[in-house]
Amino acid sequence: MKIVVIGGSGLIGKKVVTNLRQRGHEVVAASPSSGVNTVTGEGLAQALAGAQVVVDVANAPSWEDNAVLAFFETSGRNLLAAEAAAGVGHHVALSVVGTDRLLASGYFRAKMAQENLIKASKIPFTIVHATQFFEFVKNIAQSASAGSTIRLSPVLMQPMVSDDVAAAVADVALGEPMNAMVEVAGPDKIRQDELVRQFLTATGDPRNVVTDANAGYYGIKVNDQSLVPGDNPRLGTTRFEEWLGRTTPQKKAIEPQATPPSSLPGKVGKVVALLLCGIVFAALSKVTLTMAATTEPKEAKLTELTSKDLTDLPGKEGLMLVIEYPPGSSS
């Protein structure tokens, strides 16, 4: 089956493309960088030729109120018209859980306009509503940051990892059109301030999270129903702490380095080692000469008292020996 993924070079799009290709489908990763532009219409007809399913996971390049609305309305109209001409049988779009409850935001008003265009078209569709992604927690923190303080409301959330979002979208694309909306979310609910606090701790960010019930979500007034799904959503399997463990750098304990020895003990150690080696060498030389001078060679008895690697002379070993000369030998 041929499936076209609009926004196929983005965070979710890449994962959807990979997921579908691994299942053996012909997948076109469509984006402006590949010559397919839903705003201008460039390349749409060619990309959609012969496609049975179109998955739209594209996002607006600007979230300014007028710009984001223009993007989703223009892109949506062009895409749906091209799908109708190509005979596409299933339009899948990714949107956000709580879109209809967050209309004080220009971004969510634009997403609602996109959804309304899809519902008004004659193309069978399924709209996937996903909760916030783990990967966007950093953005939430940044949006509420003022110096070393991050002011956040304790609103309830149920975020999920982008891999689970992509898997859900791919499953929907391979299923029958529902002409309705389905919700997907993470396995656990967590409050927004605690979510960001855990992220900062894991990443070693020293900023402080201050809980403020009036802070909202990106400045939007919210309650504990605003950002969580309704009954019976599809749940991802990856927990936030598991994702943090995989994606944040692990702190390694730094072992204290031994204090380097002063130059004086080092020099003394070298002198002692050299003296020991010299004494042993001289003693052995004397034994050898003495024994060689006798008509009847007699062996000296060597007893090793201790040995030690000489750290200042790699590969060398210092020995302390006791040398016992046999009777009759000269000393």
Contact residues for 291 (Cβ-Cβ < 8 A; gap 6+): 297, 298, 299, 300, 329
Contact 170, 20 (CB under 8 A): yes
Contact 173, 3 (CB under 8 A): yes
For the CA atoms of 250, 18, 172, 247, what is the dihedral angle to 10 degrees?
A: 10
For the segment 36-65, the average pLDDT, to the nearest whole number, is 97
Is 312 contained in some domain? yes
Same domain as 284, residue 146: no
Same domain as 221, residue 320: no
Same domain as 68, residue 199: yes
Same domain as 300, residue 243: no
What is the share, in percent, of the chain residues with pLDDT greater than 90? 73
Cα–Cα distance for residue pair 115/122, rounded to 1 Å: 13
Contact 84, 34 (CB under 8 A): no
Confidence band, pLDDT 50/70/90 cuts, at residue 319: low
Task: Please give the residue range of the domain that contains residue 68.
Answer: 2-247
Question: What pLDDT is recorded for position 235?
Answer: 97
CATH number of the domain where residue 234 is located: 3.40.50.720
Cα–Cα distance for residue pair 4/30, rounded to 1 Å: 7
Confidence band, pLDDT 50/70/90 cuts, at residue 219: confident
Question: Average pLDDT of the chain?
Answer: 84
Cα–Cα distance for residue pair 200/62, rounded to 1 Å: 27
- The total of structural domains in the chain comes to 2
Same domain as 183, residue 122: yes
Contact 16, 30 (CB under 8 A): no
Same domain as 199, residue 67: yes
Same domain as 270, residue 214: no
Cα–Cα distance for residue pair 133/63, rounded to 1 Å: 17
Same domain as 241, residue 145: yes
Is 108 contained in some domain? yes
